[in-house]
Amino acid sequence: MRAFRMRPMYELLLCGTKEMGIGLYQLHLATPEQLCRLHYSPGSLKGVKRHLKTLVDNHYVQFGAYAVEHRTLARIRHSTRYYYTLGPEGMRYLAGLGLDINEAWRAEREVDKHGLFVAHELQLNDVIIAAALIRKADARFYLESFTHERVLKRRPYKVRLPEGQRFSLIPDAYLDFRNTLNSQHFPVLLEHDRGTEEQFYFKRKIRAYVALLTSQAYRDMFGTTTMTVAFTTFEGEKRHTKMREWTRQVLAAHNVHWQTGMAFRFAALPQPLFPGTAWLEPRWQLAYDDQPPHPLLAA
């Protein structure tokens, strides 16, 4: 049997390139379709799956499975979906490249996760991938850097809510877009909603973000003087309307200054999600106005 040798096509899936530094290391888990969308043409999916199998066989990558429920008027059926994540040899290899490795990482934990967690993370990664590919849709913009929720979780923002409770605020991602025409940064804290969070918990999160924005603690956390909190969902206009309404109620109840309220933006996004769809098309609205939707990056 021929000994395994690391090649550029494998490293691409593990950690991306210098120009597109996103792979399994940065996304933590992904489907073959997502990795193909990032680095290859749609017709290359079979090749991506073949490369992933080679990496699995040599313990650089491992795969997990979760159940997906499909509801129709006639019946409910289930199917199994597979995702890929780093294995022990992959982590050792990336550590040798000088990438940071969390000491708490354990290979077996990465494939033993609840299906709801996996489904949320894969949807979140769809939105992140659309941000990473934005330059394909408009050469004026590119994603300079991003930080995944898994990394942000190591140093959550501790906030005291108005009712006195302590709350650990962990965004789903931090995205830093840049405009090539004027080098202007557009920092975004991303929250992706799957429609499962109840009103009480959603409002508590909004109150935590209000505390973050009014204290301007994000200046020290992310080194930026402005911040947008962007809520996305694939659950349609009904959920989009609910999120805006609940946010509006929190802002009114706590007499939040209009400028802080302007930091919250909401979008119902379609699937499949293309590079320009999320960030450049007029899909975004504030919490408390009925103006036509606008593009986020042109806002």
- Are 161 and 213 part of one and the same domain? yes
In a domain, residue 119? The reply is no
Question: What pLDDT shows up at residue 71?
Answer: 63
Q: Does residue 294 contact residue 259 with C-beta atoms inside 8 Å?
A: no
> Token digits for 69?
């429920």
Question: What pLDDT shows up at residue 74?
Answer: 65
Q: Which of 65, 82, 113 is the last residue of a domain?
A: 113
Query: 82 lies in which domain range?
Result: 1-113
- Are 84 and 156 part of one and the same domain? no
In a domain, residue 120? The reply is no
In a domain, residue 130? The reply is no
Question: What pLDDT shows up at residue 179?
Answer: 92
The values of phi and psi at residue 184, to 5°, are -75, 135
In a domain, residue 118? The reply is no
- Are 147 and 289 part of one and the same domain? yes
Q: Which one, of 226, 210, 230, 220, lies nearest residue 159 by Cα? A: 210
Question: What pLDDT shows up at residue 1?
Answer: 59
CB-based contacts of 180, cutoff 8 Å, min separation 6: 139, 140, 141, 142
Question: What pLDDT shows up at residue 177?
Answer: 96
In a domain, residue 128? The reply is no
Total number of domains in the chain: 2
Q: Does residue 143 contact residue 279 with C-beta atoms inside 8 Å?
A: no
In a domain, residue 122? The reply is no
Q: Where are the beta strands (DSSP E) in the chain?
A: 61-71, 76-86, 141-148, 157-160, 166-169, 173-179, 185-193, 228-233, 264-268, 284-285
- Are 234 and 294 part of one and the same domain? yes
- Are 107 and 183 part of one and the same domain? no
Q: What is the DSSP string of 128-147?
A: HHHHHTHHHH-TTEEEEEEE
- Are 144 and 68 part of one and the same domain? no
| pLDDT tens across the length of the chain (299 residues) | 578 899 999 999 999 998 888 999 999 999 999 999 999 998 999 999 999 999 999 999 999 988 776 666 666 776 788 899 999 999 999 999 999 988 888 888 888 778 788 999 999 999 999 999 999 999 999 999 999 999 999 989 988 887 778 899 999 999 999 998 888 899 999 999 999 999 999 999 999 999 999 888 888 888 888 999 999 999 999 999 999 999 999 999 988 888 888 999 999 999 989 988 999 999 999 998 778 899 999 75
> Token digits for 99?
């990438």
CA 144 from centre of chain: 15
- Are 98 and 156 part of one and the same domain? no
Q: Does residue 189 contact residue 174 with C-beta atoms inside 8 Å?
A: yes
Burial (CB count <10 Å: 0-12, 13-18, 19+), residue 140: middle
Lateral strand order in the sheet of 228-233: 141-148, 173-179, 185-193, 228-233, 264-268, 284-285
